[in-house]
């Protein structure tokens, strides 16, 4: 007899993310919340909880509603550290978890990960105490999962980073599993003493790879949207306009890179530094060569209008935008931060560039703008490599984590962060990128200070 025949309810998963702004972590939350096969014979029911969209950076909210996914706003959950608001967020999440009674709570990003793990720990502790009462009705144990979308302090030192890492070390035992999107994040976390090897599970962000086909088909329309000529070389970036993305470095490098009048730099995205970046463009005297597109939910298709994708971030996990560009057949130049070494092999599937060095970046940029043959070779190899980054594989890996069936496989001892590979000649043979092995992979009620709306 199947679980449905026995009257068992669906496997209920509460996914919590700090905001629904248009970022990679949020995209992963949305795409991992749909089209799940039954897990152990039980249908999967997902609710997404997030703080209010008050950042003016676009939102996934409407798309989530269109997909029919239940959505809840946690009023006091914000990206900034606000001790009183953070305490309210914990209490709001405690009530939400107690009311929904999920089988799994899965948090994403640093802030949501912190308050959610504390909230689940509170629920678990209260339920343990209530089990001693004769009138207590047993409720299932909640499985707590947290995904690290890149360590926020990976390239920082000093007091702030030390405090953040100390907090992460204290929070780690509150999760059953720590999911990472790259091997590098796992090694770095263990090197900092965050969690134990058997807690970590590797689940790569999966994409709808059919969007790559759409991007190639819609190339001409995308370029018309950008307002560029057919023969222009378009360098593009898809990124939140925030400090860690270092779009200021990209602008400086583009200003140093000689090119033809019709060539363009196209920036898709928005964020708190938009006005500052526009002012920088004016100061650099390249306003006529830079196009700010703003937020676009179809960014994965628009990248097909690029001739070269550039990522100049100081810190990342494994950005979806790079995988989307590769899937669209667009060559990539990227800093070698986070897990990017797992997809960008210099001279094979892309070109690597240093962080924070506009002149060195300009040299690679100029070379690639003037060498369509090299761009084509890089794009072809990259497109074949990212064919493995499929949404169905991501959902299968998540199903193993959510069900508790993920194999408890030992994690290798942490190794030093990889250094940028030596320069590879542009005529190097098209060899497959070296692959790393993938892994198959504390609760009760509190006072109610704030109302959390019922999921719709």
| DSSP per residue, 108-158 | ESHHHHHHHHHHHHHHHHHHHHHTTSTTPPP-PPPEEEEEESS-TTTT--S
pLDDT at 150: 84
Q: Is 178 exposed, middle or buried (0-12, 13-18, 19+ CB in 10 A)?
A: buried
Q: Which residue has the higher pLDDT, 292 or 416?
A: 292
Residue 152: pLDDT band with limits 50, 70, 90 = confident
Count CB neighbours of 259 within 10 A.
Answer: 17
Residue 146: pLDDT band with limits 50, 70, 90 = very high
pLDDT at 406: 64
pLDDT at 430: 44
pLDDT at 57: 67
What is the CATH code for 210-388? 3.40.50.2000
pLDDT at 440: 34
Average pLDDT over residues 122-144: 79
Residue 325 corresponds to which tokens in the numbers above?
């560009």
pLDDT at 283: 97
Average pLDDT over residues 417-429: 43
pLDDT at 54: 64
Average pLDDT of the residues of the chain: 86
pLDDT at 154: 61
Pairing of β 11-17 and β 104-108: parallel
Helix segments in 173-328, DSSP class H: 183-191, 210-217, 219-226, 247-256, 274-284, 299-302, 320-327
Average pLDDT over residues 254-274: 94
Average pLDDT over residues 274-301: 95
> Residue 134 above 90 pLDDT?
no
What is the CATH code for 11-202? 3.40.50.2000
Q: Where are the domains positioned within the chain?
A: 11-202, 210-388
Residue 40 corresponds to which tokens in the numbers above?
């152990």
Nearest to 190 by CA among 211, 223, 165, 209: 165
Pairing of β 264-268 and β 332-335: unpaired
> Residue 237 above 50 pLDDT?
yes
Backbone torsions φ then ψ of 128, nearest 5 degrees = -60, -40
pLDDT at 437: 35
Q: Which residues contact 87 (CB under 8 A, 6 or more apart)?
A: none
> Residue 230 above 60 pLDDT?
yes
Q: Which residue has the higher pLDDT, 120 or 80?
A: 120
Average pLDDT over residues 60-71: 92
Residue 141: pLDDT band with limits 50, 70, 90 = confident
- 331 and 350 in contact (C-beta within 8 Å)? yes
> Residue 8 above 80 pLDDT?
no
Rounded alpha-carbon distances, angstroms, from residue 28 to 95, 127, 148, 375, 398: 25, 31, 12, 28, 11
Average pLDDT over residues 272-283: 96
What does R_g of the chain's alpha carbons equal in angstroms? 23
- Let me know if the fold of 11-202 is the same as that of 210-388: yes
Average pLDDT over residues 252-261: 94
H-helix or E-strand spanning residue 374: helix 372-385
- 79 and 18 in contact (C-beta within 8 Å)? yes
Query: Among 45-54, 132-141, 412-421, where is mean pLDDT lowest?
Result: 412-421
Residue 452: pLDDT band with limits 50, 70, 90 = very low
Q: Which residue has the higher pLDDT, 371 or 59?
A: 371
Query: Among 82-96, 328-342, 411-425, where is mean pLDDT lowest?
Result: 411-425
Average pLDDT over residues 328-346: 93
The separation between the first and the last C-alpha atoms of the chain, rounded to the nearest angstrom, is 31
Residue 426 corresponds to which tokens in the numbers above?
């542009």
- Convert the pLDDT of each residue in 74-117 to its tens digit: 999 998 889 999 999 999 999 999 999 999 999 998 999 999 99
């Amino acid at each position: 007899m199947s679980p449905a025949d026995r009257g068992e309810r669906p496997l209920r998963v509460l996914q919590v993310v700090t905001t629904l702004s248009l970022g990679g972590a949020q995209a992963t939350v949305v795409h991992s919340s749909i089209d799940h096969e039954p897990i152990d014979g039980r249908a999967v029911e997902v609710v997404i909880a997030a703080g209010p969209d008050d950042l003016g950076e676009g939102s996934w909210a409407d798309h989530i509603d269109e997909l029919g996914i239940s959505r809840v706003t946690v009023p006091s959950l914000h990206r900034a550290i606000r001790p009183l608001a953070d305490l309210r967020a914990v209490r709001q999440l405690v009530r939400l978890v107690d009311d929904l009674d999920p089988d799994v709570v899965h948090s994403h990003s640093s802030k949501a990960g912190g308050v959610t793990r504390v909230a689940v720990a509170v629920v678990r502790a209260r339920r343990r105490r209530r089990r001693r009462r004769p009138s207590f009705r047993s409720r299932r144990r909640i499985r707590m999962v947290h995904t690290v979308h890149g360590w926020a302090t990976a390239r920082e030192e000093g007091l702030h980073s030390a405090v953040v890492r100390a907090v992460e070390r204290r929070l780690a035992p509150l999760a059953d599993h720590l999911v990472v999107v790259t091997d590098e994040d796992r090694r770095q976390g263990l090197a900092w003493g965050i969690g134990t090897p058997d807690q970590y599970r590797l689940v790569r962000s999966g994409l709808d790879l059919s969007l790559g086909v759409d991007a190639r088909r819609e190339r001409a329309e995308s370029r018309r949207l950008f307002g560029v000529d057919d023969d222009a070389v378009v360098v593009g970036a898809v990124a939140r306009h925030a400090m860690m993305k270092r779009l200021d470095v990209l602008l400086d490098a583009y200003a140093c890179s000689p090119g033809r009048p019709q060539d363009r730099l196209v920036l898709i995205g928005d964020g708190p530094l938009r006005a500052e970046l526009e002012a920088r463009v004016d100061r650099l005297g390249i306003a006529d060569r830079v196009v700010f597109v703003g937020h676009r939910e179809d960014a994965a298709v628009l990248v097909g209008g690029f001739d070269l994708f550039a990522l100049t971030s100081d810190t990342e996990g494994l950005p979806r935008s790079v995988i989307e560009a590769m899937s669209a057949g667009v060559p990539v130049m990227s800093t070698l931060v986070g897990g990017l070494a797992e997809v960008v092999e210099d001279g094979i599937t892309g070109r690597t560039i240093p962080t924070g060095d506009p002149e060195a970046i300009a040299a690679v940029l100029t070379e690639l703008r003037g060498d369509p043959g090299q761009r084509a070779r890089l794009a072809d190899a990259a497109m074949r490599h990212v064919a493995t980054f499929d949404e169905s594989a991501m959902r299968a890996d998540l199903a193993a984590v959510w069900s508790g069936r993920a194999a408890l496989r030992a994690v290798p001892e942490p190794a030093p962060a990889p250094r940028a590979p030596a320069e590879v000649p542009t005529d190097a043979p098209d060899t497959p990128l070296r692959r790393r092995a993938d892994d198959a992979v504390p609760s009760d009620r509190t006072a109610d200070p704030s109302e959390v709306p019922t999921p719709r």
